[in-house]
Chains A and B, each alone.
Chain A
Amino acid sequence: MALKNLTNWLLWAGLMAAIIALLGWGARPNMLGLFIASGLAVGSLYALGGIGIVVLYRATGVLNFASGAAGAAGAMTAWQLVAWGWWPPLSWAACILVALVLTLAYGRLIAPQLAWRDPVVKAVATLGYALILLGLVSFLWIDEPRSITLPTDDVGVRLLGLRITATRLIVFAASILVVVGIWLFLSRTRVGLQMRALANDRSLAALLGIPILRVETIAWGIAGLMAGFTGLMFANLIRLEPVVITFMVIPSIAAAICGRLESLLLVLLGGLSMGVIENLLTLDPTLRGVRPIAPFVIAALVLLWYQRGARLTFGGRD
């Protein structure tokens, strides 16, 4: 078992090294460094989105298509409050609060009614919610250029020739903190234990006396907080356009797939790898134009790799 894991790790490391060498062949070292650093920057965004999705999926079995939309709603609220002259830190708090409320609303009011449907239908229902949120946000705020600036945008360090702002470092640090925090939460706390039981088998957990609604509320609450934070970061680091932020959920799912929808560390590494490979493809003249496809191809290949040698199950769940 440990050997199989070790093989996987070595395979990943080897592949990444090979790809970097192949794409970077002939490029000036400082350009290569720039692209790698830039790739880590965008990859951390994929990872952040993916982590939010996996956290909720592990607790409730719902793949939340609406996390991007809730984040977009929060980000637009934050922009609006700043435009009205509010103190900026309050607006950031409002962003997270709005996303939290929207996600909790779904989690408490709608998700329980779908608890017995199969996972794909649950995911499709969150898509319906995403459309509602996106429609409302687009209706309330006319499309025009906007941006959110944070004080951390002006402070930065240099990595491999690229200037990394404090905001990007925060995203990276937050991803790591969440990975560690969730791991500790799920393995060391009582609520975490209940959450794992719930994810494993909802009806059995109910039979055991686990307070289903309370635990689920906590799970959706954590997801909402993450959605709000992710939305704010996307708004600052990508652009403040509701549609763009909403549909960042698809590359985020790609990152989530790299973690098999369960291991947050693998989601983080997967997201970072995707970002690096996508950016390095800029150096290749044929694949340069189609490089945004990198996350999807990688996710599909990873999924296939995980499923190799899988036996068909006889009855029960997969």
Chain B
Amino acid sequence: MTDFREPGQPSTGTQDAGRRATDSPAPAQPGPAPRQANRGGVRMRLSKVLGAVSALATLTLAGQAMAQAQCGMNTGQAATGEPIIVGGIYGDAAPGDWSSSTDSAAAYFRCVNANGGIHGRPVDYRVANDQWNPEAAAQAAALLVNDTPTVAMVGNGSFIEMAVNAATYEAAGIMVMASACAISECFETPNIVSTNQGPLASNLGAAQYAQEELGAQHIACIGLNIPNNGIWSCGAVNDFMASRGGQGTTVLLNPGAPDVNSALLEAMASGADTILINQPAGLAIAILNAAREQDLRDQFNWIAPTPLYDLSVPAALGEYWDGKVYVNAELAPLDMNGPDALNWVAVLDAFGNPSDPRDTFGQAGYLSARFFTQALLAMDPAQVGDRAAVSAAIRGISGYTSDLLCGPYYVGEADFHMPNRAGRMVRIVNGGFELVRDCYEYDSPYFAPHIALEAQMGLN
């Protein structure tokens, strides 16, 4: 007799019907906070936002007297003066809503504006939706970079816009402090730097954990057949395994294909002992469901990058996978209440909308905005309205830290940027997540130039 699993139900039992819920919010459940997953990958908002937030808020209030949002100059006075125009591009259309990074960045900038702005000037944050469409992405960049005197782009979250617009950014001399990146252009072009790790680093982290702790000798990486996403990241995993005396196989999946079974069978046929599900959450769940149909749980190690670190995933997967799926986390888990983590929630509560998702990309967006503000506050006030000066200041960012990150954040003068290259591993248990390895630096030949750059900047 099997019990019918009700997907999407968190352990607190609160429910939220979705962004347009017309029913009243579920009552907050006091007590231990549900393990809330950091989100990554190709989907966005939690539908249990209200329950999660109220629970978190309860915990926060219980833990500290009054969590005040701290941002910018912290004067408590609204900024007046000529606005500094900052842009952001997010993707919100089927198949995913990647707006949480720009939502959090917007909330942070509102907080900054209420606290004296940047050298007394408010930030005018304008965002555009690329609708997962390359033409719309090009138009968004045309609007925000060419038509508007923006000084920088902050909080970008998209699957495609970085590829379309990298050349535009370079030509315009504008820096992009992105937050939700999934393609190689985000990490291998001069003008884009992200606070999230992206698929290459996150997959390497998962593979490294599996090789070191789970005894993986042969990893089959099931990735999307997109060159600057799946092929790029799975290729790096194969190189990593080769460098550790093991083996890696790439299995490519067409994102539109209705059938994930054949990819799974291909991975099995390769002779691997570990399956790395390098997919957005929807496809990853489909693959794990197919694996469950075949009862493959105990025949392989199951690992995944950040997209599976998401509150709705354990519920969607069910008890079958408890304790069996290891997921890499790009930023600090939500139940690790460090100062930045708490401040982020405080900022969202005070200056954001109730519907803004409280997930990993939100944290990344908050971080991008925070680091941007920090960099500009360190600048000469007369120059903060000038794009070239701001770009130079951003490139000069070095050694900014946060409890959300495992290592220091930096930009530097280079054609590649991947400051976030150390993370944590978690495991899906009992409808939530459990930390199995704290901060560790990913060790791969890919990072040699990054290590050299860090040495040059005095960060090692």
Interface positions of A (Cβ within 8 A of B): 31, 34-35, 38-39, 41-42, 45, 79-80, 82-85, 88, 134, 138-149, 151, 153-154, 156, 162-163, 165, 234, 238-239, 241-244, 247-248, 251, 275, 278-279, 282, 288-289, 291-292
Contact = CB atoms under 8 A, between A and B. Distances in A.
Interface string B1-28: 0101111110000010111100000000
Contacts of A145: 43, 281-282, 285, 310, 312-313, 316
A176 to B, nearest CB: 21
B286 A243 contact: no
A251 B258 contact: yes
Contacts of A292: 254, 256-257, 259
A45 B259 CA distance: 10
Nearest to A28: B269
Contacts of A140: 18, 20
- Across chains A and B, which 4 residue pairs bring their CB atoms closest together, nearest first? A42-B259, A243-B94, A145-B281, A239-B286
A242 B94 contact: yes
Interface of B: 2, 4-9, 15, 17-20, 43-47, 93-97, 225, 252, 254, 256-259, 261-263, 265-266, 269, 281-283, 285-286, 289, 293-295, 310, 312-313, 316, 318
Contacts of A147: 7, 285, 289, 316
A7 B198 CA distance: 56
Nearest to B20: A140
Nearest to B258: A238
Contacts of A289: 225, 252, 254
B4 A144 contact: no
A279 B259 contact: yes
B21 to A, nearest CB: 10
B254 to A, nearest CB: 5
A162 B258 contact: no
B265 A146 contact: no
Contacts of A275: 259
A239 B6 contact: no
30 contacts: A34-B265, A35-B265, A38-B262, A83-B7, A84-B17, A138-B94, A142-B44, A142-B47, A143-B43, A143-B95, A144-B43, A145-B285, A147-B289, A149-B4, A149-B7, A151-B2, A156-B293, A163-B293, A234-B258, A238-B286, A239-B282, A239-B285, A239-B286, A241-B95, A244-B95, A244-B258, A278-B262, A282-B266, A289-B254, A292-B256
A144 B44 contact: yes
B94 A143 contact: yes
A82 B17 contact: no
A131 to B, nearest CB: 11
Given A156-B293, A163-B295, A242-B94, A143 B17 contact: no
Contacts of A82: 4, 6-7
A148 B282 CA distance: 12
Nearest to A140: B20
B262 A239 contact: no
Contacts of A80: 17-18
A241 to B, nearest CB: 5
Nearest to B286: A239
Nearest to B294: A163
Nearest to A149: B5
A109 to B, nearest CB: 25
B295 A83 contact: no
A130 B2 CA distance: 36
A69 B47 CA distance: 22
Given A84-B17, A140-B18, A243-B94, A146 B7 contact: yes
A244 B258 CA distance: 8
A149 B95 contact: no
A275 B8 CA distance: 31
A45 B258 contact: yes
Nearest to B98: A143
Contacts of B20: 139-140
**B18, B46, B285 pick with most chain A CB within 10 angstroms:** B18
B84 to A, nearest CB: 32
A243 B15 CA distance: 24
Contacts of B312: 144-146
A84 B266 CA distance: 38
Nearest to B266: A282
Given A145-B282, A153-B293, A279-B261, 17 more contacts: A35-B265, A38-B261, A38-B262, A83-B9, A142-B19, A142-B44, A142-B45, A142-B97, A143-B97, A145-B313, A154-B2, A238-B259, A239-B285, A275-B259, A289-B252, A291-B257, A292-B254
Contact of B7 (A42, A148, A154, A234): A148
A57 B281 CA distance: 36
Contact of B262 (A134, A234, A282): A282
B126 to A, nearest CB: 23
A149 B293 contact: no
A239 to B, nearest CB: 4
Contacts of B263: 282
B265 A38 contact: yes
Contacts of B293: 153, 156, 163, 165
A141 B94 CA distance: 11
A244 B286 CA distance: 12
**B20, B257, B261, B283 pick with most chain A CB within 10 angstroms:** B261
B42 to A, nearest CB: 8
**A156, A234, A248, A288 pick with most chain B CB within 10 angstroms:** A288
B6 A83 contact: yes
**B9, B44, B258, B261 pick with most chain A CB within 10 angstroms:** B258
